[in-house]
Structure 1
Amino acid sequence: MGGDIKGSYDLHMHSTASDGMNTPKELVRIAAERGLRGIALTDHDTVAGLREAAEEAALVGLEFVPGIEISTRAGEKDIHMLGYFVNPADEIFLERLAGLRGTRDQRNDLILERLRQLGVEITLDEVKERGGRPLKPGESVGRPHMADVLVRKGYAVDLRDAFDKYLAEGAAAYVSPPRITPAEAADWIRAAGGVPVVAHPGLYGDDGLVREVIGTAKVAGVEVRHPDHDAAGEERYREMAREYQLITTAGSDYHGVRQGVVFHGELGEYVAGEGVVNALLRMTSR
């Protein structure tokens, strides 16, 4: 891990509340051990891990940003919207997220059916078992959990192979049911007291669509530093953020270690400074 991360914030990571391998408490401890000043926990379509992470952060003296990553659909692509400083006790927000997890469950069923049609026999119970960590209320399962089962049962060599063959957008078993739009997700985040930021724009392969999302969703920021952005992409999105006067965020998108491989980046490898967090915080009072 290069560079001095002391005093920095990793603003994108996932716990066992969604598709990460570490509990919220474990993520906080790792961040503290690595000298970070703070983190944001941004699980997919759930805030179930935020309380545990916040309590542990208070114990170890780590600053904590309550976050989320909401799955949306625009331009025939899955677009992810990060939300920072959301209120995890907001009842309307919780109801809306429960609906999103219902859509995620529908997608999971459709993917498993498509896999069965391809002669790949894995069950929802195997997916929900999550390597010995059964699903808890408010948590969600996703494609990485399916990939684990595919590897374990010999249908794929490793996580990347499982996604390339079956689970990635355009692969044999990929399915995406109707979802909310990025603008709706941004509205939900703001209604819950939070600040919306476009996640990893380089993954969408369509900068025109990214610009459209920025405009329609009226986001506050763009995730510029991310493991899946090369140097040219990072500079491109930094310039786009300057053009639209947006906050530039950074995060590892850490999901933990699967089959010996870190997915996406190592916790603390992609970080933002205190000024970024303060800028996001100021947006909550507007």
Structure 2
Amino acid sequence: MQRFAGPSDLHLHSVHSDGTESAAEVMASAHRYGLRTVALTDHDTTSGWAEAAEATASLGMTFIPGMELSAKYEWRSVHVLAYLIDPDDAALRAMTDRIRSSRLDRARTMADRISRDYDLDWDDIVAQTSDGATVGRPHIADALVARGHVHDRTEAFASILSPAGDYYVALYAPDPVTAVRLVTGAGGVAIIAHPAGRAGLLPMTLMERMLEAGLGGFELAHRENLEPGVRTLRRLCVERDLIVTGSSDYHGSGKPNLPGENTTADDMVARLISRATGSAPVYA
């Protein structure tokens, strides 16, 4: 029997990665926007789950444990939403530990490079993080804003932190097929986040390999997706009977995205829950 209620937003971030609100505050924000089932999907960490679950229980909401696992294909980032995984799965934990370590090393190197030309030091960047969060480019962006070098995160990413710039350092991440295998191996359901953005669709041969590895579906309702790519992926989802999600990708004040601006249909949430074996939703 279905024990959750919509509307459902399955992609939100807290200060445990690159959001600006605590996990409890993210859940409260979602509730204010009328959401009743939500997932916390911080990058490469499950450290906000307990706080989020406690908050949703007090608000009468359903919590879907999640994570956004970093992956990379050639030059581009691929984000794999990992729902209802076993957070103690050894292989997945080893990978997220490696990614977070790389993220920290990368941030230090970028900070060193930037400090040669701008008044910015490592303490400025750490001051923009919360306890337990891995320092990343969004925190460098926030430090640049605080120092008055840019107006906001968007300007920082378009200029000083741009991949085309002299300060940029690449992040280690597994290939998408490996990422999907890790998620499914941990009992979770893998969904590709915002798969139809400006970078274009991944090659169909790669998507076929991800499907063979257990890919569950695609996040088709997202503000970064472009309609031509969405049409192609929607046909694929119908042909292969895949899960289709819609989400806000809320980051607090870090992005203009608002909770519930895109949502996931109840039947798709139910399919996601029934498919997972790694962990369970937390019902109110």
For Structure 1 versus Structure 2, the TM-score category normalised by the shorter chain is 0.7 to 0.9
Measure, in 2, the Cα distance between the counterparts of 1:167 and 1:243.
Answer: 40
Measure, in 2, the Cα distance between the counterparts of 1:279 and 1:37.
Answer: 17
* Residue 11 (structure 1) shift: 0.8
AA aligned to 1:106 is D
Question: TM-score normalized by structure 1?
Answer: 0.86
Question: TM-score normalized by structure 2?
Answer: 0.87
Counterpart position of 1:10: 9
Counterpart position of 1:128: 126
* Secondary structure, aligned partner of 1:237: helix
Q: How many residues align?
A: 271
Percent identity for Structure 1 against Structure 2: 32
1:244-264 deviations in whole A, cap 9, x for unaligned?
432111111111114xxxx15
Question: Does residue 203 of the first structure (1) align with residue 197 of the second (2)?
Answer: yes
Whether the 8 Å contact between 2:85 and 2:277 is mirrored in structure 1 is no
Counterpart position of 2:259: 267
AA aligned to 1:126 is D
Counterpart position of 1:57: 56
Measure, in 2, the Cα distance between the counterparts of 1:190 and 1:264.
Answer: 32
Counterpart position of 2:160: 166
1:180-213 deviations in whole A, cap 9, x for unaligned?
1111111111122101111111236132x25344
Deviates more, 1:171-180 or 1:231-240: 231-240
Whether the 8 Å contact between 1:46 and 1:140 is mirrored in structure 2 is no
* Secondary structure, aligned partner of 2:197: helix
Measure, in 1, the Cα distance between the counterparts of 2:172 and 2:22.
Answer: 30
The 3 A distance-change label for structure 1 pair 210 and 51 is farther
Higher relative contact order (CA 8 A, sep 6+): 2
Q: 1:214 aligns with which of 200, 207, 210?
A: 207
Counterpart position of 1:140: 134
- Structure 1 unaligned spans of 5+: 1-5
Measure, in 1, the Cα distance between the counterparts of 2:225 and 2:198.
Answer: 11
Counterpart position of 1:47: 46
AA aligned to 2:209 is T
Counterpart position of 1:3: none
Measure, in 2, the Cα distance between the counterparts of 1:126 and 1:22.
Answer: 19
Question: Does residue 277 of the first structure (1) align with residue 273 of the second (2)?
Answer: no
Counterpart position of 2:282: none
* Secondary structure, aligned partner of 1:45: coil
Question: Does residue 111 of the first structure (1) align with residue 107 of the second (2)?
Answer: no
Structure ranking higher in helix proportion: 1
* Secondary structure, aligned partner of 1:78: strand
The 3 A distance-change label for structure 1 pair 170 and 69 is same
